[in-house]
Amino acid sequence: KHPSKVVQVGDEVEVVILAIDTENRRISLGMKQIEPNPWDIVREKYQEGDIIQGKIRNITDFGIFVGIEDGIDGLIHISDISWTDRINHPGDLFKKGDELEAKILQIDAENERFSLGIKQLGEDPWLKAARDLVPGTKATGKITKIVDFGAFVELAPGIEGMIHISELADENVAKVEDVVKEGDEIEFLILASDHEERKFSLSRKALLKHLQGAELSQYISQVAEPKTGLADAFAKAKAKEEKNV
């Protein structure tokens, strides 16, 4: 704010002497130091992990600013709004003045940063999926995308897995579309999960072979690592998708 928004010429104000420079005959004064530092109040009043309610004061392309205390806003980064939905702009979901609930992720009083999250109010659905869909589990999903090297399958809302082209059928497959198409509901086995990429590696071939027990475990150990290539595969698909946007 410009000083004229706070005081006018002729106003009497209370100040704190901050420094005295005798050489240059200058005295530095401060007005805000009269009041308690609001960040000291925040540090005492709130803890990381607390759930708070607040009003949206501003929305930007990278997040939402929520009023915490007078003069202090908390930021909900766009990546902390939803576990599964891809959000282009926070303004598509919220507007200034909305009341919302959020979880305190971090309080950095020294750097005057207050981080909040909405998605952290609930469990990460990927963690639940990883608990339920362990290697060897039979599952069903819908084909959401076909690429040269395989097919992407929706296991749950926002949770994807990939069937490498070599894991689509017992015989050699020249084109993914020869076996499956977008929208198909298919059955498969879970080969592996990649926590960092938040993806699953799947196999239809293993299901068709009717592998079980030790035979299935041996198959998974042989193909999961080389065939998964999840990081590379998903990176290629993501790069191609971003290029087409």
Least confident residue range of 3-7, 83-87, 105-109: 3-7
- Residue 37 carries which DSSP code? P
Confidence of residue 222 (pLDDT cuts 50, 70, 90): confident
CATH of domain 125-244: 2.40.50.140
Whether 228 has a pLDDT exceeding 70, the answer reads no
Whether 94 has a pLDDT exceeding 90, the answer reads yes
26: helix, strand or coil: strand
Q: What pLDDT does 239 receive? A: 55
User: Does the domain made of 38-121 have the CATH classification 2.40.50.140?
Assistant: yes
Is 125-244 in the same CATH topology as 38-121?
A: yes
Closest CA to 113 of 50, 58, 65: 65
Dump pLDDT digits (tens) for 55-64: 999 999 999 9
Dump pLDDT digits (tens) for 5-31: 888 888 888 888 888 988 888 989 887
Q: What pLDDT does 102 receive? A: 97
How much of the chain exceeds pLDDT 90, in percent?
Answer: 50
Domain boundary assignment for the chain: 3-34, 38-121, 125-244
